[in-house]
């Protein structure tokens, strides 16, 4: 398997860009450099932009407001799809209208649950028919314990997402998956999950936006890329978030993105074919070579073609000769 190619910019080849947020559009309070300009150019090309996030701590309106503050002035509340909205849809489909549910999370989860006609409660004594968990920095041991009591009593458990970590302006911190794991450790049970890599968040997005040719854009192989592959959606992997170039090089068949670029600028570029001869690959003037198991790139700084040559060569060697290569340690994307 090799990377896909496109003789047109991806923003013209695909009619819907499904954009992960943390590590792709922004990191904490700040936009990823160049993201606002790249998304403006993609929208001007006619591509719909859907901002989808596994983070359930904020409402869609709060996320859209943040995007507008960053300079994405066209971002509307309805352009944001959260895992909280997706899990609320799942729970509402599973329960009678007006059912009480035990909330483990914050306003970002409470609001979509209530919009689906569900009633949020805080304890097992309130008779919940489901436990619904989503990330919020103020989730406490008391909430986790109450959820555990309810789950042990046989009440079904839903979670917005299971990302073990979340990127912040100060670094990587525990995500909802780490809190889900705490309850799972206590109860021996696993929840029904809505967020990436599960299908519900993708279904929620496509139901809202349509789109005959969607493209998922993400920075995490285990959620963004794996989830989109499972939903039969092409992917663009960017290097501005959690996973790095070596992670992509090491990805096995069935877990590999369709395209790669350093950042969202890759949406507005064509992605040229890759030619491989022996231990060398070339792509639109850039090249990559492997010597003694070490991969080097000869290309302009942060060149999409350079990354394509490197990844294409690494995958070819892994698939055809079982050779696994490591990126030259002096190189930084």
Q: Report, as residue numbers or ranges, the catalytic residues.
A: 20, 22
Structure tokens at 173: 């911190």
Q: What is the Rg, in whole angstroms, of the alpha carbon atoms belonging to the chain? A: 21
**Chain mean position to CA 50:** 12
* Partners of residue 122 on adjacent β-strands: none
Per DSSP, the residues of 121-182 read ESSGGG--S-EEE---TT--HHHHHHHHHHHHTT--EEES---SEEEETTEEEE-HHHHHHH
Structure tokens at 288: 């990559």
Per DSSP, the residues of 222-241 read IIIIHHHHHTT-EEEEESSS
Q: Which of 197, 235, 233, 239 is nearest to 217 (CA)?
A: 235
DSSP class of residue 221 equals: I
Q: How far is CA 241 from CA 1, 63, 229, in A?
A: 24, 18, 19
């Amino acid at each position: 398997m090799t990377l896909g190619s496109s003789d047109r910019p991806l923003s013209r080849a695909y009619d819907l860009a499904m954009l992960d947020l943390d590590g792709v559009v922004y990191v904490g309070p700040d936009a990823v450099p160049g993201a606002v300009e790249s998304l403006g150019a993609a929208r001007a090309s006619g591509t719909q932009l859907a901002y989808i996030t596994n983070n359930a701590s904020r409402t869609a309106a709060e996320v859209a407001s943040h995007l507008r503050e960053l300079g994405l002035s066209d971002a509307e509340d309805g352009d944001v799809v959260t895992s909280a909205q997706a899990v609320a849809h799942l729970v509402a489909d599973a329960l009678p209208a007006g059912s009480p549910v035990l909330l483990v999370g914050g306003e970002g989860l409470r609001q979509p649950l209530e919009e689906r006609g569900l009633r949020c409660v805080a304890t097992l004594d309130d008779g919940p028919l489901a436990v619904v968990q989503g990330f919020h920095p103020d989730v406490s041991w008391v909430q986790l314990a109450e959820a555990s009591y309810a789950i042990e009593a046989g009440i079904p458990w839903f979670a917005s997402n299971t990302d073990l970590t979340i990127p912040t302006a100060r670094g990587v911190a525990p995500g909802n998956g780490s809190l889900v794991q705490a309850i799972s450790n206590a109860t021996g049970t696993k929840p029904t999950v809505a967020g990436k890599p599960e299908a519900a968040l993708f279904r929620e997005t496509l139901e809202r936006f349509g789109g005959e040719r969607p493209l998922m854009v993400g920075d995490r192989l285990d959620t963004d890329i794996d989830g989109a592959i499972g939903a039969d959606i092409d992917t663009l992997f960017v290097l501005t978030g959690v996973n790095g170039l070596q992670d992509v090089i090491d990805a096995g068949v069935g877990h590999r993105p369709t395209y790669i670029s350093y950042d969202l600028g890759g949406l507005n570029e064509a992605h040229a074919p890759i030619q491989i001869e022996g231990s060398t690959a070339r792509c639109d003037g850039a090249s990559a070579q492997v010597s003694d198991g070490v991969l080097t790139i000869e290309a302009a700084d942060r060149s999409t073609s350079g990354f394509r040559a490197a990844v294409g060569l690494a995958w070819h060697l892994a698939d055809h000769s079982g050779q696994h290569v490591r990126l030259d340690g002096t190189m930084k994307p």
